[in-house]
Amino acid sequence: MFRKLRIKFIATATLAIALILTFFLVLMNSIVYTQTEGNIHTVLSILTKNEGELPITDEIKESLTEKNIQEGIVYNFQYFSVREKENDYAISLTNVQSLTEAEVKSFLPNILKKQETYGSITHKGRYFTYQVSQSTTGKLLVFFETTNYIRERDTLLQVSIWLALASLLLLILLFTLISGIVIRPFIKNYEKQRMFITNAGHELKTPLAIISANTELQELMEGETEWSISTKEQTERLNHLIGRLIRLARLEEQEDIKLAPQNISVIAEKVASDFAPLFTKEDKKFESSIEADVVEKVAQEEFYELLSILLDNARKYCDPAGTIRLTLQRKNYLLRKRTCITISNDYKDGQAANIKRFFDRFYRAETSHNNQTISGHGIGLSMAQHLVSLFRGKIFVTYKKQVITFTVWL
């Protein structure tokens, strides 16, 4: 149980940190990307406005300064322009190196074919961003080499991702180390609670045995009375409650249980046949539909106890002359075949119950029509939930159309 709690703590803390790191990673790279694109657009706009040239005038200096582009960097910019001229192109390569007219003409048709006003190309490992404008004299294409911008942007992205992953791994290691310290108070409190339940249970058995013996002796001497019957019933109830409390405490000590393939259809049939006479005695209908030869990895005795708890709970809370139903079948669940067990019973007063608390210890819904619920201790369903978790399954409770249903998926 505490191993799962520790894993849950580590997973929750890791998820929270991962979300924070992802947020800052996306935010930082988005800002850099937006700033880079803004700088590129500014340079291309200036080139387009000046017919493919970048004169360093006061106006242009001011425009570049607004984008935090230093004047010294401008002199190192690589750019060129292409003007469509009748059936040919006028190419100006004055401000670009290692690029010939033939190379430019080789990729021009693809650019013009796209009919885009803005885009980028890669040529021999170098990146060029272009802008196309239309004038009375024809099309003007200005190209700005953005290799450094893109590489710096990609480098920042890669470095930030690696730093985020490294930070996350270090934090996972840290969470793993401190998780034991964080849950230590819970472990101590749980151990004290478990020891108290076990010790109190054993201590209570002695006075209960004496009360039971004294009641039997009194009946031998004076005969059976309604008071002696009530005393025996309450003594038996307390013994049953103590036994279940100790059983639950021992179950919770087990993080794992030895599971083996079992024909749970046979076990379910046995539980159903054991409870059927009791249902008949209490004038309650019982319907069962159990698919044959369903095999699951469970512990045989614990699985029998699980079904017994759920059927006994259905008996206690079923309406007078109501119907109790048990089904066991293979069904599709989360894209694969799994075993589904449902136990339901008629329960008119279920609307007043908080079904979310049904698995809490000692919780019992208020009822006005069924005094048999007095025998319920609020321990059984908590035990059922723990048994299902040991079988690595899930248990749910629903209430619809005056019928309460417990569903177990294995």
Least confident span in 71-85, 146-160, 240-254 = 240-254
**CA dihedral (160, 166, 168, 174) positive or negative:** negative
Of 113, 137, 153, the residue at which a domain comes to its end is 153
Encoded tokens for 215: 């009641």
Selection from 63, 79, 64 nearest residue 140 by Cα: 79
| CATH code, domain carrying 89 | 3.30.450
Least confident span in 105-109, 178-182, 286-290 = 178-182
Selection from 35, 22, 36 nearest residue 160 by Cα: 22
Which residues make Cβ contacts (< 8 Å) with residue 19, sequence separation at least 6? none
Of 125, 153, 181, the residue at which a domain comes to its end is 153
Together in a domain, 261 and 149: no
Our count of domains for the chain comes to 2
Q: What is the pLDDT of residues 391-404, one digit of tens each?
A: 888 988 888 888 89
Q: Contacts from 354-357 at CB under 8 Å and sequence distance 24+?
A: 355/397, 355/398, 355/399, 355/404
pLDDT band at 372 (very low <50, low <70, confident <90, very high): very low
Together in a domain, 262 and 141: no
**In terms of DSSP H, where are the helices of 354-395?**
380-390
Together in a domain, 262 and 127: no
Q: How far apart are CA 66 and CA 78, in angstroms?
A: 21
Q: How far apart are CA 365 and CA 78, in angstroms?
A: 79
| Structural domain contains residue 288 | yes
Least confident span in 58-72, 108-122, 297-311 = 58-72
Look at residue 1 in the predicted model and tell me its pLDDT.
58
Look at residue 158 in the predicted model and tell me its pLDDT.
93
Which residues constitute the domain of residue 283?
257-409
| Structural domain contains residue 240 | no
Look at residue 224 in the predicted model and tell me its pLDDT.
75
Residue predicted with more confidence, 163 or 317: 163
**CA dihedral (187, 188, 190, 195) positive or negative:** positive
Selection from 285, 198, 300 nearest residue 244 by Cα: 198
Averaged pLDDT for residues 228-233: 77
pLDDT band at 162 (very low <50, low <70, confident <90, very high): very high
Averaged pLDDT for residues 196-219: 73
Distance (Å) of CA 18 to CA 3, 90, 162, 168, 221: 22, 53, 13, 7, 75
Of 153, 187, 202, the residue at which a domain comes to its end is 153
Look at residue 340 in the predicted model and tell me its pLDDT.
92
| Structural domain contains residue 129 | yes
| Structural domain contains residue 81 | yes
Encoded tokens for 185: 């108070």
For the whole model, what pTM was predicted? Answer: 0.53
| Structural domain contains residue 241 | no
pLDDT at residue 81 is higher than 80? yes
Q: What is the pLDDT of residues 110-146, one digit of tens each?
A: 888 887 888 888 888 888 999 988 876 778 889 988 8
Most confident of the ranges 129-143, 157-171, 288-302, 332-346: 157-171
Look at residue 20 in the predicted model and tell me its pLDDT.
93
pLDDT band at 371 (very low <50, low <70, confident <90, very high): very low
Together in a domain, 283 and 148: no
Together in a domain, 14 and 130: yes
Averaged pLDDT for residues 275-287: 88
- Residue type at 404? I
Helix (H, G, I), strand (E, B) or coil at 369: coil
| Structural domain contains residue 46 | yes
DSSP 319: P
What percent of the chain has pLDDT above 90? 14
| Structural domain contains residue 36 | yes
| Structural domain contains residue 207 | no
Together in a domain, 141 and 273: no
- Residue type at 39? N
**CA dihedral (287, 290, 296, 298) positive or negative:** positive
| CATH code, domain carrying 367 | 3.30.565.10
Q: What's the chain's average pLDDT? A: 80
pLDDT at residue 373 is higher than 50? no
